[in-house]
Structure 1
């Protein structure tokens, strides 16, 4: 089973409009509202793909029932910790072309007591789990050592830890040796700057630098250029032969879900080129399938099956 931890959940609102014209009024074609935040999206994708998962998050006391009802309707197992802090809102405006404009509230800093309760919840679930993911942003004022603390906790509990975080939180967590980190190109560059790297390396160089800084493996996403993996003596790029149009907001969460599934099934990171190539094919297929959905946290298994054989893998120099 996979535990997904969301440090900064959000109530996701998605508006569909023909196009966005700055300074003008817009008639919204459709509206969706769902429990969101990257870790909750990861759990939703895993559930859709038939992988056991449970989502852990702190939710504002007035929103707990809303989140529980939505996650329950989607059959996503969850452990929600009530918090006195209100839950932030995230608004996505999706145009007919597929272009997405996002408005993300920052969230409100949680107390040490809430973070402690979240760690206790993870501990209570660990006996039936093998992987812990930590995904997304953090409310302003969050202890920059939180992810390092959670990574160490995961390892003490015998869990493999996958991080989809960035900035100072990733910079400090690398010292705890996460099993896999999954930033995008910009997030990787920001993290390396925090490590004292003044230059901005290539995407393969960034992945190598993250491994050198403490991660066992690094997957760095690079938009339409696909993914770059570095682990031990394996360095690969995976991508589709052509880009897809759609809503990209949940693509990274689907990728995290796929990579966590590989660790859950094998009990550890893939070993060798062939195993990593299979893992990256699945990761690209899940990620691309998410782009075809109107909201984050959703994939269609039929899209995954159709896209999987089209993924291209190439070796890159170490």
Structure 2
């Protein structure tokens, strides 16, 4: 449990981290709204992130960490649900009303369960029974880490390219994780699970940055061609895929045509041989 006297440095760093994590999803939400699509941004990722704010909030509040870090999960969860609702609306053909209702109901359920668990676990926690709270911290860390798996799967499908993710969002998210980690360290009593959670976020996002940088380096000619032609990278990639499909269809049709031609030639040869035999039989008969 963190001490009652939180150092000023911890509060300052925690406030900076919370500000970053409060606004981190705003650029992504704006990006989704502007482009009216969320290709490459998995709904399961945003849902896991949003839901993990509930056990994360229970853990942070009962651990009595600095106030900014206590309110951080709630704001993070709210924006996570909003982004999830956008994915349902833009890419999964949910109606605007249905997506909005799902977001509101999900926020209320998570908020209600969080309050219930805090009130239920507070008494045994103050008596020294801390393992239930520890479980909430572990669950939050696992859900946050697993939330990156669908995104990495999308990156793998695109051979390392990151699509649909706003880079301002990722940058702010990484900074929020770093400052929150520094805030925990400045408390004097470092919370291990909270630290693991922030480290997981930072390392996962470093991996995302690295993957896209490598992809851009490998496809620098494609990026140059897109810039010169005035087309987007997605348009050029679509044209390349279309060209490959046409080429494959041409090859397949040529492979099918050869046996047919060979079959026709064989039939003609058989018919010719049959006619020759008939002519010979007629000649013998006339003799």
- Same fold per superposition (TM over 0.5): no
Which has more strand, going by share of residues? 1
Q: Which has the higher helix share?
A: 2
Please state which band the TM-score falls in when normalised by the shorter chain.
under 0.3
| TM-score (normalizing by structure 1) | 0.23
Which structure: larger Rg?
Answer: 2
Higher RCO (C-alpha 8 Å, min separation 6): 2
